[in-house]
Structure 1
Amino acid sequence: MSDVEQLTSSKLGTKQYWDEFYNLEKNNYAENPNDSGECWFSDSGAEEKMVDFLVDEEEQGQGESLISLDCKMCDLGTGNGRLLFSIREGGFTGHLTGLDYSQPAVEFSTKIAEQEEMENITFEHADFLGDAAMWSTGNRQWDVVLDKGTLDAIALSDIKYEGKTGVQTYPHVVQHMVKTRGVVLITSCNFTSDELVKIMTTDTCLKEWKHVKYPSFRFGGTDGSTVCTIAFKKE
């Protein structure tokens, strides 16, 4: 196992933690419909940057971009579904799917979608790593696969999949979830850009495509940022 994958396990990598978290979020929402939960990486504006990237690619592509307004998109570890709602508000019309292995998260995001009258969005309970065979057949594929912090949470889990870590398993499952000439757009705070590229492109059909820019800081003579967002394309 490479150093890239050797992160210390944490409760943030357990299903129990997320079930309890989203049960609480669900209860809070029932009491106050204005409280639709946390927006992960809000300090860095990651959600906005991911949506802006998709919008810009569609607008600048002039019909030849990998991104189109009617793209079918899937959000891995969708949580409260906010990323998909923002994408819909950004003008994208294709069917959107949110997957989460926490049933309370699926119930929570579904309820928000109903309350806010978000159409053509489906939330599903799914463990795409634990049920890898189901997601590796090519029968279910999307134009764009999204991840905002889910790979980070997977890296904090000590669960093994046929002897491999979640981080080792993740890219080999995800590459089958995206169509040829499709895009995987990932935001991470646990991995550097170089580490994320290595994870996603080693022995897969995914290639590094474009990086989303964030404000950078200098520490120890090296430039960096608190998060990175990278788009990979499937060839």
Structure 2
Amino acid sequence: MAGFRLPPEEPEVSPQQPPQQVRVAGDLVSDDERSVAADSWSIKSEYGSTLDDDQRHADAAEALSSAANFRANSDYNSDKEEPDPEGMASMLGLQSYWDSAYADELANFREHGHAGEVWFGADVMDVVASWTKSLCISISQGHMLNHVEDLKSEPVEENDKYLSSWSVLDIGTGNGLLLQELSKQGFSDLTGVDYSEDAINLAQSLANRDGFSCIKFLVDDVLDTKLERQFQLVMDKGTLDAIGLHPDGPLKRIMYWDSVSKLVAPGGLLVITSCNSTKDELVHEVSNLSQRRIGVSQEHEIKDEEACREPPFRYLNHVRTYPTFMFGGSEGSRVATVAFLRN
């Protein structure tokens, strides 16, 4: 859904074409404003795996404010001289933003055949797909390796045997390109969901064009899922990031964890790729789920408090091959991919 992006190919747009507008949280927001909001997420990704959140947010806010100076005051329905950077960033947490974005990308695909944004970049997507494949094969073989990258290559036929039993769900699938990569790796039971109908239409169109008829796509909101099935592997590439940018982000994140804990089968995997949270931050968030569950059980006088003490997930592994850098005395990478095991 979001993170590092490769810029899409420029469509042929008539200079006389007026900017489209979408309604977001009661205000009209132009395509330029939506672009700035998307850029703010990319800015965050440059610091996404450092532990200095204040610096990361300050730089994103500064860049947003600078970009706002190039726009006329009439672009904003506000009494402020400059738009609120945090408010702009929170647009990426709203469904109306993504509905508009994927309406544009679907129209661009139909006119020019472009696949659209590659969130986090193609290189990261390739790493996520191949690393997840190795992790699933390792688990299927009864191994729990600390360094998945150390796995020895298996014949393709052996890989297919191991991976055919893994049912896969991609939440916030967007254009569905991650599922295409997982299909290339040997996974065959693949489902993608997104709350944007145009995202699903785009993903289905791309899958049909590229010969991935095995992938199923459904319109579904992970925070209010209608899925009644559990999956051995649930993938999240940027969806938790977007949820965290909603104006009610903290509450939405609680809803997220409650929902995915029901979607991942016992003993299954949840693989999260994020540009706004570090590996340690994600692990810490999961470890705190048990405390929140205890509080809920006490509030509602649930007797089986012991069952609430165990968090639904535990940390299993993370990608170690992303480039790292030093910032603020801490070493980190710009993207974090972490696997959690469903208890």
TM-score, normalised relative to structure 2: 0.60
Alignment partner of 2:316 out of 199, 209, 217: 209
CA separation of 1:186/1:18 partners in 2, compared to 1, >3 Å: closer, same or farther? same
Describe the shift of the 1:224–1:39 C-alpha distance in structure 2 as closer, same or farther (beyond 3 A).
Answer: same
- The equivalent residue for 1:154 is 243
Give the secondary structure class of the aligned counterpart of 1:21.
helix
Is 1:143–2:232 an aligned residue pair? yes
Native 8 Å contact 1:158 1:165 kept in 2: no
Q: Is contact 2:169-2:233 (8 Å) kept?
A: yes
Question: Which of 102, 121, 129 is the aligned partner of 1:42?
Answer: 121
Within 5 Å, give how 1:187-202 maps onto structure 2: 187-201=273-287, 202=289
* Aligned 8 A contact 1:73 1:96 in 2: yes
Residues 57 and 65, structure 1, Cα contact 8 Å, conserved in 2: no
Give unmatched runs, 5+ long, in structure 1.
none
| Corresponding residue number in structure 2 for 1:76 | 171
Give CA deviations for 1:48-78 in whole Å, capped at 9, x if unaligned: 1111112222444563258941111000100
Structure richer in strand, relative to its length:
1
Q: Does the 8 A contact of 1:188 with 1:227 survive in 2?
A: yes
Give the counterpart letter for 1:76 in structure 2: I
Distance 1:91 1:32 in 2: 30
Structure 1 contact 26–108 (Cα < 8 Å) conserved: yes
2:342 match: 234
Q: Residues 73, 62 of structure 1: CA spacing in aligned structure 2 closer, same or farther, 3 A cutoff?
A: closer
Which residue identity is paired with 1:46?
V
Amino acid at match of 1:30: R
Aligned to 1:112: 206
SS of the equivalent of 1:165 reads helix
1:136-183 deviations in Å (ceiling 9; x for gaps): xxx3100100000000000011247xxx61112211210110111100
Q: In structure 2, list runs of 5 or more residues that go unmatched.
A: 1-52, 58-85, 145-158, 291-310
- State the identity as a percent: 36
Aligned equivalents of 2:286 and 2:176: distance in 1? 24
- Structure 1 vs Structure 2 CA RMSD: 2.1
Query: Is residue 63 from structure 1 mapped to residue 141 from structure 2 by the alignment?
Result: yes
- The 4+ residue runs of structure 1 with deviation greater than 3 A are 58-62, 65-68
Q: Which has the higher helix share?
A: 2
- For the residues of structure 1 that align with 2:138 and 2:239, how far apart are their CA atoms? 29
Moved more, 219-228 or 145-154: 219-228
